[in-house]
Chains A and B, each alone.
Chain A
């Protein structure tokens, strides 16, 4: 099937859809805030306003503002793109490794995880040779180790490798 002549060269999600989604998400946050506030009390107690008093109205304002944003978003032209799929793939290429990294930090320690993140990035996104990749991904964590643990005396999370090395 061929594209109609006037179709844009690249496609992506509609800006309208995303913007409405974001407004709905924020609305949900507001609602959660209100529910949470109600459960600790939003009234007046012996010691003054209860804990939920202030956040309740904060939540209410979030809900009101989000309703406005949602309806405004629904009038955005359908043709407007949020981003091209290719661009979103680029963003995903950072978010997914980052998610794995974040999950790996408690198990591997921050040094090993960071080295792997840098290596992965350089190898698969930057297409560098193995020598350069390994070089930088080994030197950087060592540099960080010296700066933080030795110079500023700030301990960072360590994993099995550091245990093995007795650090």
Chain B
């Protein structure tokens, strides 16, 4: 097989000493970021991105993607020990994980969570290895109209699949597009929407937005809730790990289901958070212990963790193959690619073989290393959470400010970060989703370019969006995703009487 050879050469790239070191640093930093409130995968990567500008792209992406894996692992620690989801996708893990810790089974819960995360990620990486080259090859034929249709599909899935009201998702997404449009028009070079302000000439940077919305906004929410960390003790040792590993294979069906749900939700940009909830809900309905869910059932830890990690990992598939990220963190990584001078999209597989396969190989290794790191260092990471909020909060604020400054070495960005932070607080409180906003800022210019180029080809006729079979199919899928709540409700009404008989 073609991709197998490519993968092997990818391993050769990764297994150099400094890349392996970056991997270790990335995982450790990632877990710390995942454990701390106000620092998550997306803005952790955003803060560190400017530091990688001078690094070779392959090392940089290994460092940053390992931070992402680490953050995915880290979320489980706080959910289980402290009943505080460090990341939104680990909310579902608290349902059974924390009761397990209260029953004195913290070690089992953590082992189950980490192992499930690992299984989910591994499944997703295998899917990426097999599917991404094919998708990319297929997408090489795409013209601007097809590209726009893919963007359309991605953004429609947010509206249809998200649990927030559609009008709010649309509003938040369109704010992202509007912010992306500020500054120089990438097609004609004309200035727009700057209203005479010199600060806005360069437009809004998505990194600043991510750090503000996710970092500062999260700190404000944490302050409001007045968190006090009261954690359960960790008793994780090789015996516990071994005992848990012996019972885990019994739940292979739950795992497999969670893997599939996770991959599906990660590739269509619905994301890790809904995937974890959906997987938890389905496992609860399917399991014979369903009524024990919520009181500390190990299956209730396996299901959401596997799905969250599978979704988080597979979100990189559309990012690599199409240039359309499936999650905010993938969006930040995509922004990184552009900054390092790589053109994301299907051509990446042709022109930057080393880079792509190095990244994919690092996903395999990163998750193995990650599992080893978290299993051995849990007590250390839990200790970080015992540092009082009064010390940790200002330090996080300072780190966010430095992160925002280093994007363009501009103090104005630090002000914008605070503005985004306050906006993020209100948007979050009012149930506006932030992920579509971030994705729209990152993809805004590209989506607009694709749209305008397709219109140029058709000389202004909007019919170009259903002119060929392929475009029409993708656009139809987009519309289906957009109106999914109505479609599924309708299907239910039609199908239920049929099955009832």
Min Cβ gap B419→A in Å is 9
The residues of B that contact A32 with a CB separation of less than 8 Å are 195
Contact with A along B378-418 (1 / 0, CB 8 A): 00000000001111011101100110011001010011011
Do A88 and B224 touch across chains, with their CB atoms under 8 A apart? yes
The CA-CA distance from A103 to B419 in the complex, in Å, is 12
Please indicate the chain B residues that have their CB under 8 angstroms from the CB of A88 in the complex.
Answer: 224
A90 to B228, CA, bound (A): 14
Knowing A49-B452, A87-B224, A154-B406, the reply to whether A105 touches B414 (Cβ < 8 A) is: yes
Contact: B195 with A36, CB < 8 Å? yes
Q: Which residues of chain B from 170 to 188 have a CB within 8 Å of any chain A CB? A: 170-171, 174-175, 177-178, 181, 185, 187-188
- Judge if A160 is at the interface, Cβ distance under 8 Å: no
How far, in whole Å, are A83 and B165 apart by their CA atoms in the complex? 21
Interface of A is mostly: helix
In the assembled complex, which residues on chain B have CB atoms less than 8 Å from the CB atom of A52? 192
Q: Is B56 an interface residue (CB 8 A)?
A: no
Interface residues in B, total, Cβ within 8 A: 61
Residues of chain A within 8 A of B411, CB atoms compared: 105-106, 157
**Chain B residue, CB-CB nearest to A116:** B394
**A128 B390 Cβ-Cβ under 8 A:** yes
Chain B residue contacts of A144, Cβ below 8 A? 398, 402
Is there a chain B Cβ closer than 8 Å to A130's Cβ? no
Instruction: Specify which of B171, B185, B397 lies most central, judged by the most chain A CB atoms within 10 Å of its CB.
Output: B171
Nearest to A115 among chain B residues (CB) is B398
Q: Is B427 in contact with chain A by the CB < 8 A criterion?
A: yes
Which of B181, B393, B394 sits near A55, CB closer than 8 Å?
B181
Q: B216 on the interface (CB 8 Å rule)? A: yes
List chain B residues, Cβ under 8 A from A94: 219-220, 223, 393, 397
**Across the interface, which residues of A come within 8 angstroms of B455, CB to CB?**
48-49
In this assembly, does B429 line the interface, its C-beta being within 8 Å of a C-beta of chain A?
yes
The answer to the question of B248 belonging to the interface, with a C-beta cut-off of 8 Å to chain A, is no
B201 — which chain A residues lie within 8 A by C-beta?
none
Select from chain B the residue with minimum beta-carbon distance to A61: B174
B-side interface residues toward A, CB under 8 Å? Answer: 50-51, 54, 165, 167-168, 170-171, 174-175, 177-178, 181, 185, 187-188, 190-193, 195, 216, 219-220, 223-226, 388-391, 393-395, 397-398, 401-402, 405-406, 409, 411, 414-415, 417-418, 421-422, 425-427, 429-430, 432, 448, 451-452, 455-456, 460
Query: Known pairs A32-B195, A82-B429, A114-B401. 4 more at Cβ < 8 A?
Result: A22-B427, A40-B193, A61-B170, A65-B171
Chain A to chain B contacts (Cβ below 8 Å), 30 pairs: A22-B432, A23-B171, A30-B178, A33-B181, A48-B455, A49-B455, A51-B187, A52-B192, A55-B177, A55-B178, A55-B181, A65-B170, A66-B167, A66-B171, A69-B171, A87-B224, A87-B225, A91-B223, A91-B224, A102-B401, A105-B414, A117-B397, A118-B394, A121-B391, A125-B390, A125-B393, A126-B389, A128-B391, A156-B402, A156-B406
